[in-house]
């Protein structure tokens, strides 16, 4: 494995961990697949690399400068991070049916303007997944 591939894998595991560390394995897997599905987008709306997708401005809140999760780094023994690494190393089937967006907001908070209920592919825990 090249250094670039290692970087991509660690960054992807970090993104999953930051976005869904307190959630189920299935929810973490869903976050992974959203990132992956964006890299595979036939309309080329997103970068083709995992790092390009993850680091694209304002796409994953845990990488936004003022988000409290942006400063969080897991320890090597963090069980949730180990699971995130395992997802990256051996991804299973896509549980989101091709989703390329997700959201998780507290009940009662307004939905973002892009959250079209006709585009929902599934819900896993607190995450609602969308395909646009």
**Two tokens, residue 111:** 């939905």
Q: What is the pLDDT of residue 6?
A: 96
| HEC per residue, 32-77 | HHHHHHHHCCCCCCCCCCHHHHHCCCCCCHHHCCCCHHHHCCCCCC
Could you list the mean pLDDT of each consecutive 10-residue stretch along the chain, which spans 132 residues? Answer: 93 98 97 98 97 96 94 95 97 96 91 96 97 97
* All domains in the chain, ordered by first residue: 3-96 (1.10.10.2520)
Helix (H, G, I), strand (E, B) or coil at 127: strand
């Amino acid at each position: 494995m090249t250094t670039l591939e290692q970087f991509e894998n660690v960054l992807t595991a970090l993104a999953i961990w930051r976005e869904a560390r307190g959630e189920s394995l299935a929810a973490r897997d869903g976050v992974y697949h959203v990132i992956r599905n964006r890299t595979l987008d036939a309309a080329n709306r997103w970068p083709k690399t995992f790092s390009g997708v993850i680091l694209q401005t304002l796409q994953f809140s845990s990488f936004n400068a003022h988000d409290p999760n942006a400063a969080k780094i897991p320890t090597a023994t963090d069980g949730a991070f180990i699971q995130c690494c395992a997802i990256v190393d051996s991804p299973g089937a896509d549980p989101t049916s091709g989703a390329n967006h997700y959201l998780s907001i507290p009940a009662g908070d307004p939905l973002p303007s892009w959250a079209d209920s006709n585009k929902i592919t599934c819900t896993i825990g607190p995450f609602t997944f969308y395909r646009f």
